[in-house]
């Protein structure tokens, strides 16, 4: 009986020492909200709307941003995007330079295939709000922001085997290069882990722009395009976050 009581006492003692060593050796960072500067890299699959849908189908969008989440739950920053890959919906603007079998003649009289696509970019100044809901810690939750900036896009014109059927200067009469002011909005979820290893965001991204053709003259219509167009892009954006804040080491608590 004495041996049994001795073993029980020894087990309790070892358990207490083990717990004390764990607590002292691995203090936990207190779960508090603080300001976090972030660099983000993201990808979005976007669909076109309004006048832009008459020119391009869905596209790809890769973006980067610098955003600060403040301790008081505000967001501010800047972001830029590059977009590509949208299929050109109406290709009849090249009918005047195509042969009967849809080839184009290059500068040496050879037939070559033409490839059309979308190229563009946008940039915005952002401001928004952070809501600490549906979150495992105080620095994760719902984010909502809006921005004002600039949107531009054009038809990319290339030829098979890099043959030259249109010079770069002549392409300007067909590429419909357009630009103008735009607004951007985003609603999504931001996750920032305590150990800083897993940081990401995702949500719905929307852009509304008013653009105008910046080329002086369209060769296929034999006249300038002076209309102001309404351009809409919307899709789902997913991104990875690089946190720039220093590790919080001042506040600890012990179990």
Q: Look at residue 25 and tell me whether its pLDDT is greater than 60.
A: no
N residues, the chain: 255
Check if the beta carbon of residue 175 is closer than 8 Å to that of residue 156: yes
Predicted local confidence at residue 110, as pLDDT: 83
Q: For residue range 70-101, what is the model confidence (pLDDT) as tens digits?
A: 999 999 999 999 999 989 999 999 998 888 78
Query: Which residues, 6+ apart, have CB-to-CB distance to 87 below 8 Å?
Result: 56, 57, 58, 116, 117, 118
Q: What element of type H or E holds 23? A: helix 2-25
**Residue 31 binned pLDDT confidence (cut-offs 50, 70, 90):** low
Q: Give mean pLDDT, residues 174-185.
A: 97
Predicted local confidence at residue 23, as pLDDT: 36
Q: Give mean pLDDT, residues 90-114.
A: 85
Query: Which residues, 6+ apart, have CB-to-CB distance to 197 below 8 Å?
Result: none
Q: Look at residue 32 and tell me whether its pLDDT is greater than 90.
A: no
Predicted local confidence at residue 6, as pLDDT: 40
Distance between CA atoms of residues 214 and 216, nearest Å: 6
What's the pTM value of the predicted model, to 2 decimals? Answer: 0.81
Predicted local confidence at residue 30, as pLDDT: 56
Q: Look at residue 105 and tell me whether its pLDDT is greater than 50.
A: yes
Q: Look at residue 19 and tell me whether its pLDDT is greater than 70.
A: no
Tokens of 95: 């009918």
Distance between CA atoms of residues 251 and 249, nearest Å: 6
Q: Give mean pLDDT, residues 174-193.
A: 97
**Among 85-89, 180-184, 220-224, 248-252, which is the least confidently predicted range?**
248-252
Cα 241 to its chain centre, rounded Å, is: 11
Residue 84: CB atoms within 10 Å? 15
**Residue 160 binned pLDDT confidence (cut-offs 50, 70, 90):** confident
Query: Which residues, 6+ apart, have CB-to-CB distance to 214 below 8 Å?
Result: 177, 178, 179
Check if the beta carbon of residue 88 is closer than 8 Å to that of residue 116: yes
Q: For residue range 123-155, what is the model confidence (pLDDT) as tens digits?
A: 999 999 999 998 889 999 999 999 999 999 999
Predicted local confidence at residue 99, as pLDDT: 85
Predicted local confidence at residue 205, as pLDDT: 98
User: Selecting from 3.40.50.720, 3.40.50.300, 2.60.40.1180, 2.40.160.20, what CATH number does the domain 33-246 have?
Assistant: 2.40.160.20
């Amino acid at each position: 009986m004495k041996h049994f009581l001795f073993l029980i006492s020894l087990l309790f003692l070892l358990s207490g020492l083990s717990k004390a060593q764990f607590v002292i050796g691995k203090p936990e960072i207190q779960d508090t909200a603080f300001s976090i500067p972030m660099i983000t890299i993201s990808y979005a699959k976007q669909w076109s709307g309004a006048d832009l849908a008459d020119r391009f189908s869905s596209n790809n969008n890769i973006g980067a941003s610098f955003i600060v989440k403040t301790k008081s739950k505000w967001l501010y920053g800047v972001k830029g995007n590059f977009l590509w890959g949208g299929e050109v919906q109406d290709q009849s603007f090249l009918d005047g330079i195509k042969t009967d079998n849809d080839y184009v003649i290059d500068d040496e009289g050879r037939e070559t295939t033409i490839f059309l696509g979308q190229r563009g970019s946008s940039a915005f100044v952002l401001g928004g709000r952070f809501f600490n809901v549906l979150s495992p810690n105080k620095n994760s939750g719902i984010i909502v922001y809006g921005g004002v900036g600039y949107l531009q896009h054009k038809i990319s014109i290339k030829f098979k085997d890099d043959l030259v059927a249109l010079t770069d200067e002549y392409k300007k009469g067909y590429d419909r290069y357009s630009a103008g002011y735009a607004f951007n909005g985003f609603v999504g979820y931001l996750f920032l882990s305590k150990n800083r290893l897993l940081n990401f965001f995702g949500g719905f991204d929307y852009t509304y722009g008013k653009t105008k053709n910046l080329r002086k003259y369209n060769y296929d219509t034999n006249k300038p395009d002076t209309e102001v167009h309404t351009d809409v892009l919307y899709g789902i954006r997913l991104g990875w976050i690089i946190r720039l804040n220093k590790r919080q080491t001042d506040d600890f608590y012990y179990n």
